[in-house]
Structure 1
Amino acid sequence: MTERRPELNSRRPNFIFIVADDLGFADLGCYGGRDAKFGPVSPELDRLAAHGLRFNEGYSNSPVCSPTRFAMITGRWQYRLRGAAEEPINSRSKGSTTLGLPPELPTLPSRLRAAGYRTALIGKWHLGYPPHFSPLKSGYEAFYGPMSGGVDYFSHCSNTGAHDLFEGETERHDEGYLTDLLSRRAADYVRRMAGPDNGGGAAPFLLSLHYTAPHWPWETRDDAHIVDDVKANLFHLHGGNIHTYQRMIHHMDEGIGWIVDALRETGQLDDTLIVFTSDNGGERFSDNWPLVGGKMDLTEGGIRVPWIAHWPAGIAPGGVTDQHCLTMDWTATMLDLGGAAPLDDCPLDGVSLAPVLADPSACFERPMHWRMNHRGQRALRQGRWKYLRVDGHDYLFDIPADARERANLGPRQPERLAAMRADWEAWNASMPPIPEDATVSLGYGAKDMPQR
């Protein structure tokens, strides 16, 4: 007997948009990840997937952090913004008036806020530094977390040694493991949204929960003693291992369980769309099987990431879909379900996935384009086919048949390759060019790590 799928609820849902940092495609159990020595790595996320919808072919807008976040908050190609040409934004942009998210630009939180939502960001911002840029200038009512990319999990200092934990635009000196601080803050926010602070749940809410886990430095909840060692090199090039990495994911997973518990306790779980994804593909300890490459690459391992959606009132349990989609499609979906008014002068590039949430088999064609300053990379996914350029060499892959991108079919199908190259070039011509002064920062230090 086929289980009847629920109709999308007429009540506008709450949104919890959870983004991991540098999480690999197969790091979670529900994506085929291996158990750790201590047991399952991600039981809470696996449970959300089992009772919700899992996407097999969800992609990030970029293989590196900041550009994906520009697309995620605007619902538009990140290439439209100067700040997103930095791969990624780093501490050298402090004081810049251009390397950040322009406050006047419509965003997911500002548009939902205009539609009656409460809004908060708990976690990583990484879209420019005060005084010119900040979450509070771009639609969030509340913010708690780091402004930069990677910070130490205990000292909360960035790679420059500067303290980087804020509430609003004021420094906050809280003791504790950062992943746990973010999780507890998020669970507390959920409870407050059901209480008198929000009229007993009168208004729906958007909670953006952007973890730094499992981004370097490689520190678990029990590793406070290595803080001094990490201060000398936050990239932690000589540290970490697969066991530490899996434990970091598990700590994040535990925290997500605390948030689900808070939703359940306050009667908000059924009417909350929880979305989980990663900002890009995995780093050095990630499991991307069967994909190749990782962060900084436009091969599948750099851009195909976990996508999970859980919403009891609007998504039937146990669903799996092969719908092609990009990070900014979640933005379009939330604006759609939240009843945000369209903006003629700032149209979305993302596409609403609401029909797929209601029926996972209702897939539609979704061409996806990428470009990357690093190694002159470009890519186009169109149906089963992928066009890829790296270091001046063009490739054509049949992804369902060759997820590891090992059989270049370009020489056998030159017409298809030429057509996809022309398609990519036409799309690229519609985007602003990459500025000559844009830089690439590999995140782990190009001089210290081998190039892929």
Structure 2
Amino acid sequence: MNKKRTGLLFLVILNCLITLGQNQKQKPNFILIVADDLGYGDLSLTGSTQIKTPNIDKLANGGMFFSQGYVSSAVCSPSRAGFITGINQVEFGHDNNLANNQPGFDPEYLGLPLSVKTIADHLKPLGYVNGLIGKWHLGHTKQFHPLKRGFDEFWGYTGGGHDYFVSETNGKGYRVPLECNYKKPQQITYITDDKGDECVDFIKRHKNEAFFLFASFNAPHTPMQATKEDLELYAHIKDSKRRTYAAMVHRLDVNVGKIMNTLKNQGLDKNTLVIFISDNGGPTKTNGSINAPYNGKKGTLLEGGIHVPYIMHWPGTIPSGTTYSNPVSSLDFAPTFMALAGGNEKAVSFSGVNLLPAITSTTPLAEPHELLKWRFTISAAIRKGEWKLIRLPDRLPLLYHLPSDPSEQNNIALKHLETTKDLLKTLGEWDVTLPHPVFLEGAQWKKIQLGQYDDTYQITQPD
């Protein structure tokens, strides 16, 4: 009898373990692919006449393209602080780009505040293994390190960029040595390819676990460096900077394809939500990018600075070949991932929302966001429905009706005074609730950023 009871107990325990494993297997994987300083108009799917991006196009054609997709800041570090936490970064003082510590500020706070949890922090207790491949840019010192912010594996660098061909043992700036906590980093071949290879390796090693992979590319951020092979593909582009940029975007596209092919070959494609964005708009002059049809650039709250390519891909769950036209934000990633992983996203004060109910429903639902709001150093902006207002320190507000003027060419603030007053009031009421920044970048950037609103930007594709 005891043997029978023991055998029965063993079978019950075994069945529970199998069920637990099946439940764990059913949790979706998440891959967040982030381009760095990519121009909105520099994918073939967004209208580029010069650059071909078949793999990113395929990602959109097999999933959903968000025609009104925004990031929460116009530059790298605060944008990343927003989407990696799901909270508008100015609500915890991460208003500026990371740079050297400024007089009067405590360098211990020069990074993503420790009081705020990342996507990885939220997913880890839900059974996920979390990996970061590439750029961090949320703090250099040990307390801000990604391995202390919920990530189990890290291959990359903590700064804002890296040389594409070289790292040095005692290197500084863009030539710092690569870090890795699970092996000795290999010599760089071309860093975009190396990142793609590391993403493939991560997927293969963790294919039997629920995982979150932050595939953080630095292409096409400066320095402008491309392989000879890719430069030859774009030899017809006369401008050397633009030619190099096109080659760098091409190589990014190749590695997006590498990631997606691996998911399919490993049988994980139907259980993996893949998102592709750029962290902000293209900086135009420094890397040769084009944000057409949008005005502005990285560093401005014009559409060219914050309106980015935004794609979600999940076969069998997200309708393929579809476009979603309501405004969405990169702040929506964290609550979406948490809800899908089985967590309670409503228990966290996210600025973003779980997008899945809105984008998979067969009946129209309310827009995910009634308002979108931005603050970046000298500027602030708000979008409410079809209207967008930008507030600057040296002029009257800029008001645009986006459906009729997507390129923001006609400031109609004085023609629609009631709308201008309403948006200014709403923006101001939010502004005064925000904390002081926990760090600042150099004061010289204020004048540079203001001057960028007076520049002229290319809002059409080249012939």
Structure 2 residues without counterparts, runs of 5 or longer: 1-24, 232-238, 456-463
The question of 1:403 aligning with 2:420 is answered: no
1:35 is the counterpart of 2:46: no
1:279-318 → structure 2 map (5 Å cutoff) = 279-284=279-284, 285-318=288-321
The match for 1:370 is 374
Matched, 1:108 2:125: no
Partner of 1:248: 248
Q: Does the 8 Å contact 2:30/2:272 carry over to 1?
A: yes
- Which residue number corresponds to residue 338 of structure 1? 341
Q: 3-state DSSP class of the match of 1:259?
A: helix
What is the letter of the counterpart of residue 354 of structure 1? L
**How far has the Cα of 1:273 moved from its partner?**
0.5
Tell me, in whole angstroms, the C-alpha distance in 1 between the residues paired with 2:111 and 2:183.
19
More deviation in 279-288 or 210-219?
Answer: 279-288
Specify which of 37, 40, 49 is matched with residue 25 of structure 1: 40
CA distance in 1, matches of 2:164, 2:101: 22
Tell me if 1:325 matches 2:328: yes
- The one-letter code of the counterpart of 2:223 is P
Which structure has the greater CA radius of gyration? 2
- Paired residue for 2:200? 187
Number of residue-to-residue matches in the alignment: 412
Deviations 1:288-314 (A, max 9, x none): 111111100000000000001110031
Match of residue 225 from structure 2: 219
Alpha-carbon separation, structure 2, partners of 1:369 and 1:450: 18
Q: Describe the shift of the 1:436–1:275 C-alpha distance in structure 2 as closer, same or farther (beyond 3 A).
A: closer
Q: 1:132 aligned to 2:143?
A: yes
1:199-238 → structure 2 map (5 Å cutoff): 201=208, 203-222=209-228
**SS state at 1:17 partner:** strand
2:53 is aligned with 1:53: no
Structure 1's unaligned 5+ residue stretches are: 1-9, 195-200, 226-238
SS at match of 2:426: helix
Q: Give the equivalent residue in structure 1 for 2:260.
A: 260
Deviations 1:197-236 (A, max 9, x none): xxxx1x31100001000001111123999xxxxxxxxxxx
- CA distance in 1 between counterparts of 2:88 and 2:197 reads 32
1:259-308: per-residue Cα shift (whole Å, max 9, x none)?
11111111001111110001100122112111111100000000000001
- Structure 1 residues 335 and 127, CA, compared in 2 at 3 Å: closer, same or farther? same
Question: Aligned-residue CA RMSD in angstroms?
Answer: 2.9
C-alpha displacement at 1:440, in angstroms?
5.6
Provide closer, same or farther for how the CA distance between residues 398 and 66 of structure 1 changes in structure 2, counting only shifts above 3 A.
same
User: Of Structure 1 and Structure 2, which has the larger fraction of its residues in helix?
Assistant: 2
Q: How far 1:338 moved relative to its partner?
A: 1.4
Q: Is the CA contact 1:296–1:442 (under 8 Å) kept in the aligned structure 2?
A: no
Tell me: CA distance 1:53–1:125, structure 2 relative to 1, closer, same or farther (3 Å).
same
- Note closer, same or farther for the CA distance 1:304–1:437 as it changes in structure 2 (3 Å cut): closer
Who is 2:20 aligned against? none
- Decide whether aligned partners of structure 1 residues 250 and 438 sit closer, same or farther in structure 2, where only a CA change above 3 A counts: closer
| Cross-structure match for 1:15 | 30
* Matched-pair contact (CA < 8 Å) for 2:335–2:354: yes
> What is the match of residue 232 of structure 1?
none
Q: CA deviation at 1:156?
A: 3.5
**TM-score, normalised by the number of residues in structure 2:** 0.82
- Does residue 119 in structure 1 map to residue 153 in structure 2? no
Contact 1:53–1:308, Cα closer than 8 Å, also in 2 = yes
2:445 and 2:252 map into 1 onto residues whose CA distance is 24
Shift of 1:104: 5.0
* Aligned twin of 1:275: 275
CA deviation string 1:9-32 (max 9, x = no partner): x93211000111011111111111
Contact kept in structure 2, 1:44 and 1:256, CA below 8 Å: yes
After TM superposition, give the deviation of residue 85 of structure 1 in Å.
Answer: 2.7
Contact 1:54 1:320 in 2 (8 A): yes
Counterpart of 2:458? Answer: none
What is the TM-score of this pair, normalised by structure 1? 0.84
Q: 1:339-358 CA distances to partner (integer Å, 9 max, x unpaired)? A: 223474x5111111112331
CA contact (8 A) 2:230 2:248 kept: no
Instruction: Confirm or deny: 8 A CA contact 2:296 2:302 kept in the other structure.
Output: yes
State the 1:419 CA deviation: 0.4
The 3 A distance-change label for structure 1 pair 272 and 441 is farther
Q: Secondary structure at the match of 2:339?
A: helix
Matches of 1:183 and 1:15, distance apart in 2: 16
**Aligned position for 2:99:** 90
Q: Percent sequence identity over matched residues?
A: 32
Match of 2:19 in 1: none
